[in-house]
Amino acid sequence: MSWTVAAGNFNSSGDNTIVAAPGAGFRLRVKYLCIQNETSTSTTLLVKWGETIRGRKVLESASVGYDYYGERGNEWLLPANTALIANLSGANTHNYELQYRAEAIQ
């Protein structure tokens, strides 16, 4: 099964969907996720699987980011039909890149 590589940005305070929930019977497997603050304004980032907070970091400025790299076989496995979300404490521009795939739950 191949991996999807994606990149983009978001700038809304609150929840920002990075990858939508894949549908009933599927889950997301995340190999890596990088998020970088593109402003000079500190922003608290919450990485969420649906409503569950899985990571928290204050991104101080454009030079600070949040990085997750999964080793082979140790990727993030989200619960069934759950979106990958970035929640921001303020409406500041952030860029992201990630590698993921949707897979059927066995």
* 37-63 pLDDT tens trace: 999 999 999 999 999 999 999 998 776
- Domain assignment of residue 65, yes or no: yes
User: The domain containing residue 76 runs over which residues?
Assistant: 13-92
- Domain assignment of residue 71, yes or no: yes
Spacing of C-alpha 82 from chain mean position: 12
Q: Tell me the pLDDT band of 74, cut-offs 50, 70 and 90.
A: confident
- Domain assignment of residue 105, yes or no: no
- Domain assignment of residue 46, yes or no: yes
Place of tokens 């990727």: 75
Instruction: Give Cα separations from 14 to 34, 58, 70, 85, 106 (angstroms).
Output: 18, 14, 26, 10, 33
Query: Which two three-digit tokens encode residue 83?
Result: 């979106």
* Total structural domains within the chain: 1
- Domain assignment of residue 55, yes or no: yes
Residue with the larger pLDDT of the pair 50 and 106: 50
Evaluate whether 92 touches 43 at the Cβ level (below 8 Å). yes
Torsion sign across C-alpha atoms 64, 71, 50, 22: positive
Interval 80-99 mean pLDDT: 96
